Amino acid sequence: MHWRCIPGGRLTRWRRWDRWEPLAGLAADVGLVVEPGRLVIELRPPGMDKGAALTALVAERQAGPVLFAGDDLGDLAAFAAVRALRGEGHPGVTVCSASGEVSELAAEADLVVDGPGGIAALLSRLARSLAPSSRPAP
């Protein structure tokens, strides 16, 4: 559950944990765990995080090179998964969508770009560089 777009005055109300206690109870009732992040609460199966999901997806899909872009502390596990994949010879890169609020993520990233617009620009450049018309003739 994200609340990044709630106007500032109401945001303070939503940051208080007591507002989320009923959600934690519901999560526990159905076997999920609560993972807080930057203006977000995630509900996940125990033992599951973005790193485990990414590793499973790469194996399941026999994926080629991996680019993982993130903007929150919950993405650290996926960054670690990309590093582990690289250690096994699988190409991969981590990209941080920079914000002043999550400097730990930027410290772990291979590349830091300026927010969501920076991610979009990076992906656009990658797409253009991979387009058949941009490749030199053999």
Q: Is residue 3 part of a domain?
A: no
| Stronger pLDDT, 3 or 33, i.e. the higher one | 33
Identify whether residues 34 and 87 lie together within a single domain. Answer: no
Instruction: Give the Cα separation of 115 and 110 in Å (integer).
Output: 15
Identify whether residues 102 and 56 lie together within a single domain. Answer: yes
Banded model confidence at residue 4, pLDDT cuts 50, 70, 90: low
Phi, psi angle pair for 46, to nearest 5°: -55, 140
Identify whether residues 54 and 83 lie together within a single domain. Answer: yes
pLDDT in tens, 123-137: 999 999 988 875 565
pLDDT in tens, 32-90: 988 877 667 788 899 899 999 999 999 999 999 999 999 988 899 999 999 999 999 99
Q: What is the dihedral of CA 90, 103, 41, 20, to 10 degrees?
A: 160
Identify whether residues 38 and 57 lie together within a single domain. Answer: no
Q: Print the domain residue range for 13.
A: 8-44
pTM: 0.79
| Stronger pLDDT, 12 or 102, i.e. the higher one | 102
**Pairing relation of β-strands 111-113 and 92-97?**
parallel
pLDDT in tens, 13-31: 555 556 677 888 889 999 9
pLDDT at 118 over 90: yes
